Amino acid sequence: MRSPINLAVSWVAAMSAVVVSQTAGAAVSDINMPVGVTPLSQEVYGLHMLIFWICCVIGAAVFAVMFYSMFKHRKSKGAVAADFHESTTVEIIWTAVPLIILVAMAIPAAKTLIAMEDTSNAEVTVKVTGYQWKWHYEYLDSGINFFSTLDAEHNRARQVGSGVDLTQFDHYLKEVDNPLVVPVGKKIRFLHTSADVIHSWWVPDLAVKKDAIPGFINENWALIEKPGIYRGKCTELCGRDHGFMPVVVKAVPEEEYLAWVAENAPAPVLAATDSTATATAATAAVEEDADREWAQDELMAKGETVYNQVCAACHQANGQGLPGAFPAIAGSAIATGPQDAHIDVIYSGVQGSAMASFAGQLSDVDMAAVITYQRNAFGNTVGDTVQPSQIKALR
């Protein structure tokens, strides 16, 4: 049985959607909350429109009385001031009536809130870890894990004074290299945490927003009803590139999802009972790469790509850093000093600074390449190479 209040919420939501879509057409998505594609997002939209209309009615009534009074009770119209200054009756009425409205509003809001917090019986669990400034996704069931960063083309376009024509992009600043792939029709539980500062993972169409807090795990959930690509952003200020860590969720039918899992899972998923075994098997190909000797040219070429994706956000594309905030790579004592110290900074990070540990973020090859690159670019001329095997030995 649905309560009258729940019915009211759905009715208001439905009516608002109709009114708004007929009057404003496609433009409405630019000025109102999306209805979204989960049962919860639709409930939230209903609550939003209900409280919105309540506020409109209250506002209209208050302003009507006020403006009537301002036009009617003016001195220039000969109004003579009355002398009343209290009335217990009206004061009780205008305290009680808002209270009743609030209680009526609080009931459906509390119901939705309870549903939002119920993450039990999830069929898929994804651990989302915030990094400055990218997301890492880990499917706890299949062991698939990867980073998701702002698309390289978008990243180039958003540099200060890039001069790139932004209209060429369909979803400027909302495109990533690796989107999160999830099935429709399944309850998906998200676990949120962070590797550095607080982030917040938000997808408006799913009505999920949760802070990613270092050292703690938060959770929420979504059941997506419609296949599609849903885009969001980080919503907790997390440093210089807070505006540039989008979230892209690709919701696909279950068969497609299973095929994607089969293709990307580190090992046969069904057979995998031991997660470390899975991980080891999966990285076999990568390891082969890590074991061979790399030439300096190879490392430099790869290092430049990695540098621009990972390091340039702080240390800048020209390696000059931002004085006081992010040290320069060009001519730095670390990048031109002993290899071990340089490797240690990248591998372990620097405590108490924005310099994160990249041991978990970059492969042996990427790390070796970017260190080699830093030692031999921006006017640094150490001339040596760091081999992937050196990084591997640290693990």
CA-closest candidate to residue 129, choices 221, 244, 216? 216
The H or E element that residue 125 is part of is strand 124-131
Residue 368 touches another protein, criterion: CB under 8 A: no
Please list, in sequence order, all residues whose beta carbon lies within 8 angstroms of the beta carbon of residue 361, skipping any fewer than 6 positions away. 131, 136, 147, 310
Among the listed ranges 181-189, 194-202, 256-264, 333-341, the one in contact with another protein (CB under 8 A) is: 194-202
SS3 285: helix
Q: Interface with another protein includes 331 (CB under 8 A)?
A: no
| Biggest alpha carbon–alpha carbon distance for the chain | 96
Q: Which pair of structure tokens corresponds to residue 25?
A: 């057409």
Contact call for residue 292 and another protein (CB under 8 A): no
Of residues 109 through 148, those in contact with another protein by CB under 8 A are 109-110, 112-114, 116-117
* 285 touches another protein (CB under 8 A): no
The stretch among 138-146, 168-176, 293-301, 373-381 that binds another protein (CB under 8 A) is: 168-176
Q: Does 383 sit near another protein (CB under 8 A)?
A: no
31 part of the interface to another protein, by CB under 8 A? yes
How near is the Cβ of 96 to another protein at its closest, in Å?
9
Task: Assess 21 for contact with another protein (CB under 8 A).
Answer: no
Residue 325 Cβ, how far from another protein at the closest point, in Å? 4
Q: Which residues ranging from 200 to 239 are in contact with another protein (CB under 8 A)?
A: 200, 202, 204, 207-211, 213-216, 218-219, 232-239
Which residue from 290, 315, 313, 297 is spatially nearest to 366, judged by alpha carbons? 290
Q: Does residue 153 touch another protein according to CB under 8 A?
A: no
Which stretch in 169-177, 254-262, 275-283, 360-368 sits in contact with another protein by CB under 8 A? 169-177
Using DSSP bridges, classify how beta strands 134-139 and 124-131 pair: parallel, antiparallel or unpaired: antiparallel
Cβ atoms of residues 187 and 122 within 8 Å = yes
- 48-67: which residues touch another protein (CB under 8 A)? 48, 51-52, 55, 58-59, 62-63, 65-66
Cα separation, 149 vs 355, whole angstroms: 18
Alpha carbon distance 8, 334 (integer Å): 65
Query: How many angstroms separate the CA atoms of 264 and 227, rounded?
Result: 20
Q: Where are the beta strands (DSSP E) in 169-241?
A: 180-183, 187-194, 199-203, 208-212, 218-223, 228-234
The verdict on 25 binding another protein (CB under 8 A) reads: no
> According to the binding rule CB under 8 A, does residue 24 interact with another protein?
no
How many whole angstroms separate alpha carbon 39 and alpha carbon 45? 10
Taking the complex as a whole, how short is the minimal distance between the CB of residue 106 and another protein, in angstroms? 6
Cis bond upstream, residue 133 (ω within 30)? yes
| Binding positions for another protein, 245-284, rule CB under 8 A | none
> How many angstroms separate the Cα of 300 from the Cα of each of 70, 359, 373?
74, 20, 5
Task: Please give the DSSP secondary-structure letter assigned to residue 154.
Answer: H
Query: How, if at all, do strands 134-139 and 199-203 pair?
Result: unpaired
Check residue 6 for interaction with another protein (CB under 8 A): no
- In whole angstroms, the minimum distance from the beta carbon of 211 to another protein comes to 5
Question: Which listed range, 94-102, 180-188, 250-258, 304-312, lies at the site for another protein (CB under 8 A)?
Answer: 94-102
Residue 288: φ, ψ to 5°: -55, -45
Rule CB under 8 A: is residue 328 a binding residue for another protein?
Answer: no
* Alpha carbons 246 and 158: distance in angstroms, whole number: 13
Question: Which member of 146, 169, 260, 347 binds another protein (CB under 8 A)?
Answer: 169
Q: How far is the CB of 272 from another protein (least distance, A)?
A: 30
Q: Is 94 in the site for another protein (CB under 8 A)?
A: yes
Among positions 294-323, residues that touch another protein (CB under 8 A) are: 322-323
Single out the residue of 10, 29, 357, 361 in contact with another protein (rule: CB under 8 A). 29
Query: What gap in Å lies between CA 203 and CA 201, rounded to an integer?
Result: 7
| 57 vs 333 by CB, closer to another protein | 57
Q: Select from 95-103, 266-274, 275-283, 290-298 the region that touches another protein (CB under 8 A).
A: 95-103
What is the closest distance, in whole angstroms, from the C-beta atom of residue 290 to another protein in the complex?
Answer: 29
